[in-house]
């Protein structure tokens, strides 16, 4: 069954937007996890909650700082898609 090329373009643009938006959040979680893990290894603290809390704070901070930009990108993409229909 052939797929409409316009639908392929929309899906490709949507996936690019998702990866573009999620990258800062994932990078912050990765960095916080690595730092917390290194500190836990240095102090020999084996509490899994420490790494979770560090990642949680890092993700919340990124969402607070970049949430407006992220929502602006999603809204502009949505308006662009609806206007092209």
Q: What is the pLDDT of residue 2?
A: 76
| Residues 9-47 pLDDT 10s | 999 999 999 999 999 999 999 999 999 999 999 998 888
The pLDDT tens digits of the residues spanning 49-70 come to 888 999 999 999 999 999 999 9
Question: Which pLDDT score, from 0 to 100, does residue 83 have?
Answer: 92
Distance CA 9, CA 74 (A): 16
State how far the Cα of 55 lies from the Cα of 27, in Å rounded to an integer.
10
The pTM score is 0.81
The confidence score (pLDDT) of residue 61 equals: 97
């Amino acid at each position: 069954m052939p797929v409409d090329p316009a639908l392929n373009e929309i899906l490709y643009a949507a996936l690019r937007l998702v990866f573009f938006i999620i990258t800062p959040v994932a990078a912050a979680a990765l960095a916080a996890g690595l730092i917390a893990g290194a500190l836990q290894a240095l102090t020999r603290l084996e509490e899994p909650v420490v790494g979770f809390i560090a990642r949680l704070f890092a993700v919340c901070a990124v969402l607070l700082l970049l949430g407006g930009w992220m929502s602006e990108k999603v809204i502009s993409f949505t308006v662009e898609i609806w206007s092209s229909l």
